[in-house]
Amino acid sequence: MSVDKEIEVRFKIFRFNPKIEFAPSWQEYKVKVNRSTTVLDALLKIKEEQDPTLAIRYSCRQAVCGSCGMMINDKQMLACFTRVLELGSDVIKVAPLKNYRIIKDLVTDFNELFQKEKQVKPYIIRHDLEELLSPTGTYKQTEDELLRYIQFADCIECGMCNSACPVSATDPLYLGPMILNRAYRFISDPRDLGFEQRLKVIDSEHGCWRCHFAASCSAVCPKGVDPAKAIQLLRRALVKKAILGISSSKKVELIPMEHIKGKLELPRGWR
Amino acid sequence: MTIYEENREGVSGWFRLRRYSIERVLYLMQRLSGIGIVIFAFVHLLYTGWHPGGWGDVILGVLVTYHTLNGLRLVLTEHGFLIGKPIRAVYPYRKGTLYGSQRYLIMIVLALFVIFVFIWSYVALVISTG
Amino acid sequence: MKESKRMFLHYISGIIILVTGFIHLIANNLPDIGTIIHESALYPVNLIMLLSALTYHMLNGVRVILIELIPGRCAAKAITWIMFLVGIALYIYGLQVFLNLFWPVE
């Protein structure tokens, strides 16, 4: 098949504006696609040529930003990462991600998700403030220690795992795979000392124990992050802490470096 | 209006099983069999010694065997065993929870399930009725 | 009690049910070994362990399902307490059944 050969495909797109409409509706468009057209390209083509009122959110078009996650043929996929002909069906159903509030058409509201993410403190927590303000060296990190978290650090926050999870389907307060993965990424980081501070949220009624290992999050993840694995390892850390009393925060060695000089300039009004 | 705006699947999300991995099916069965066993256990406790008998015993055996074997699998996997170590995510992605030892464990569990159900059905239908 | 301890007990009680439930089945269904178990002290001890583990495992399972179905932090606490009280009631009822079984009132 040559690259230029074009095939006409029917798109069935979810249309809903919660501000003025009562119920959602499905609208059909016909688009000519070739081998390299992604779903996002097709949607943009519809927006350009047929219906400018269609709302989509996207940024990078190359599966890095995680803005364009949507339900394509009833499965969570990145629109920019899925080619139309790869799906192998004549009618392509495009809907917004499940379990998120709809803003308009295919655009969903992630505000609640990021509020939950804030609760687990997604940053490295350290107690040696003096060292952070006037660094004298660098923290030692071996290849093994890097491998412990590097897979979970690849998350692009597209929110598709939370959408696929059967627990978040009924429980809006459940933290969800994305946030638990985020928490484990920092807990397993050898430089981080904030394990105990994160426990209060992670170990709550709507924390990581509501996961039942349906592994749908890993099945839909476009970046190979494997959130299901992160949650199980997180639980292992929690059991270690609760039963054996072993904390997952580790002491990290500081390698002094002579050539690092000077203090960090703090913005005015800080501290 | 808010229902459409929230777009939450609710309990029907548990039953949307196509297009996802087999673990989702196993999770749903675990939950349903658990509910079944709870109903049986309540009646069994209130009327001591009661059990359904005949084909009812077979159904109960299926629920209990499945819940036990899958539960043992979950005890292992939910504490971080047999799901593989974290690795660098390199395309094509092979996720530890969906490949390798975890999948073999599922096969073993399902095979044992079939074997035990056959043994139990034989005992319940042939031996105990004489 | 924290959620992690509750759920750890859930796994432990599951394994206890596996062992004690197996003994319970053998004692009630196999005629030869069954009578030996029935006459020894193993039977009541086993039954009480099975009752406590089963009550915990069962009600914790129901609690987990209810927490997932009924959102709200307050609701989660209420469900936990209700399940705790139901568990106590069931346990006392079960113990009373056993007392009648092993030491029947004349």
Domains and CATH numbers, chain B: 2-127 (1.20.1300)
Judge: C18–B34 Cβ closer than 8 Å, yes or no: no
Query: Which stretches of chain C sit within 8 Å of chain A by CB?
Result: 2-8, 64, 67-69, 71-73, 76-77, 80
Judge: B80–A164 Cβ closer than 8 Å, yes or no: no
Look at residue B2 in the predicted model and tell me its pLDDT. Answer: 80
- Sort out which chain C residues have CB atoms less than 8 A from A172's CB and list them: 71
From C56, which residue of chain B is nearest by alpha-carbon distance? B38
Tally B–C CB contacts below 8 A: 27
Pairs from A135-139 (Cβ < 8 Å, separation ≥ 24): A135/A260, A135/A264, A136/A254, A136/A256, A136/A257, A136/A260, A137/A254, A137/A255, A137/A256, A137/A257, A137/A260, A138/A254, A138/A255, A138/A257, A138/A260, A139/A190, A139/A191, A139/A252, A139/A253, A139/A254, A139/A255
How far is Cα B124 from Cα C99, in angstroms, rounded to an integer?
Answer: 30
Interface of A with C in 131-190 (CB under 8 A): 167, 170-174
Query: For residue A265, is pLDDT > 70?
Result: no
Mean pLDDT of A124-133: 85
Q: Are residues A216 and A92 in the same domain?
A: no
Mean pLDDT of A164-182: 94
Mean pLDDT for chain A? 90
Report which of A60, A57, A51 is spatially closest to residue A70, judged by C-alpha positions: A57
Is C11 an 8 Å CB contact of chain B? yes
Query: Per the domain annotation, does A249 fall within a domain?
Result: no
How far is Cα A255 from Cα A252, in angstroms, rounded to an integer?
Answer: 10
Query: For residue A143, is pLDDT > 60?
Result: yes
Cβ-proximal residues to A24 (8 Å cutoff; 6+ apart), any chain: A14, A15, A16, A102, B4
Q: Are residues A134 and A226 in the same domain?
A: yes
Query: Per the domain annotation, does A171 fall within a domain?
Result: yes
Look at residue A1 in the predicted model and tell me its pLDDT. Answer: 53
Mean pLDDT of C26-51: 87
Q: Are residues A104 and A155 in the same domain?
A: no
Look at residue A115 in the predicted model and tell me its pLDDT. Answer: 94
pLDDT in tens, C9-20: 999 999 999 999
Look at residue A3 in the predicted model and tell me its pLDDT. Answer: 61
CA distance C11 to chain B (A): 6
pLDDT in tens, chain B (130 residues): 588 888 998 899 999 998 899 999 999 999 999 999 999 998 988 887 787 878 888 999 999 999 999 999 999 999 999 998 999 989 888 888 998 899 999 999 999 999 999 999 998 888 877 6
CA distance C35 to chain B (A): 16
Query: For residue A45, is pLDDT > 70?
Result: yes
How far is Cα A92 from Cα C92, in angstroms, rounded to an integer?
Answer: 58
Q: Choose, out of C7, C20, C90, the residue to mutate when testing the contact with B (most B CBs < 10 Å).
A: C90
- Sort out which chain A residues have CB atoms less than 8 A from B71's CB and list them: none
Q: Are residues A92 and A24 in the same domain?
A: yes
Judge: A206–C8 Cβ closer than 8 Å, yes or no: no
Q: Are residues A148 and A117 in the same domain?
A: yes
Least confident of A161-175, A180-194, A248-262, B17-31: A248-262
Cβ-proximal residues to C93 (8 Å cutoff; 6+ apart), any chain: B45
| 3-state SS record for chain A | CCCCCCEEEEEEEEECCCCCCCCCEEEEEEEEECCCCEHHHHHHHHHHHCCCCCCCCCCCCCCCCCCCEEEECCEEEEHHHCECHHHCCCEEEEECCCCCEEEECCEEECHHHHHHHHHCCCCCCCCCHHHHHCCCEEECCCHHHHHHHHCHHHCCCCCHHHHHCCCCCCCCCCCCHHHHHHHHHHHCCCCCCCHHHHHHHHCCCCCHHHCCCCCHHHHHCCCCCCHHHHHHHHHHHHHHHHHHCCCCCCCCCEEECCCCCCCCCCCCCCC
Mean pLDDT of A56-62: 93
Least confident of A118-127, A163-172, A257-266: A257-266
CATH number, domain containing residue A214: 1.10.1060.10
Parent domain of C74 = 3-102
- Sort out which chain B residues have CB atoms less than 8 A from A22's CB and list them: 1, 4
Query: Per the domain annotation, does A253 fall within a domain?
Result: no
- DSSP type of residue B126: I
Does ipTM exceed 0.90?
yes
Look at residue A208 in the predicted model and tell me its pLDDT. Answer: 92
- CA torsion A100-A103-A108-A113 (nearest 10°) is -60
Judge: C3–A205 Cβ closer than 8 Å, yes or no: yes
Cβ-proximal residues to A17 (8 Å cutoff; 6+ apart), any chain: A104, A105
Look at residue C23 in the predicted model and tell me its pLDDT. Answer: 93
Percent of chain C scoring above 70 in pLDDT: 99
- Sort out which chain C residues have CB atoms less than 8 A from B72's CB and list them: 18
Query: Per the domain annotation, does A151 fall within a domain?
Result: yes
How far is Cα B82 from Cα B101, in angstroms, rounded to an integer?
Answer: 6
CA distance C69 to chain B (A): 8
Look at residue A9 in the predicted model and tell me its pLDDT. Answer: 93
Cβ-proximal residues to A74 (8 Å cutoff; 6+ apart), any chain: A93, A95, B16, B18, B19
Query: For residue A271, is pLDDT > 60?
Result: no
Judge: A207–C3 Cβ closer than 8 Å, yes or no: yes
How far is Cα C17 from Cα A78, in angstroms, rounded to an integer?
Answer: 44
User: With bands split at pLDDT 50, 70 and 90, how would you rate the model's confidence at A73?
Assistant: very high
Judge: A147–B90 Cβ closer than 8 Å, yes or no: no
Judge: C71–A242 Cβ closer than 8 Å, yes or no: no
pLDDT in tens, A194-231: 899 999 999 999 999 999 999 999 999 999 999 999 99
Query: For residue A4, is pLDDT > 80?
Result: no
Parent domain of A71 = 7-109
* Tally of structural domains, chain A: 2
- Sort out which chain B residues have CB atoms less than 8 A from C101's CB and list them: 48
CA distance B101 to chain C (A): 21
Query: Per the domain annotation, does A268 fall within a domain?
Result: no
How far is Cα A163 from Cα A184, in angstroms, rounded to an integer?
Answer: 19
Q: Which of C7, C68, C77 sits opposite A171 (nearest CB)?
A: C68
Look at residue A131 in the predicted model and tell me its pLDDT. Answer: 83
* Tally of structural domains, chain C: 1
Query: Per the domain annotation, does A256 fall within a domain?
Result: no
CATH number, domain containing residue C80: 1.20.1300.10
Mean pLDDT of C25-39: 85
Interface of C with B in 42-101 (CB under 8 A): 51, 54, 58, 61-62, 65, 69, 90, 93-94, 97, 101
Q: Are residues A46 and A143 in the same domain?
A: no
User: With bands split at pLDDT 50, 70 and 90, how would you rate the model's confidence at C86?
Assistant: very high
Tally A–B CB contacts below 8 A: 143
- Sort out which chain C residues have CB atoms less than 8 A from A206's CB and list them: 67, 73, 76
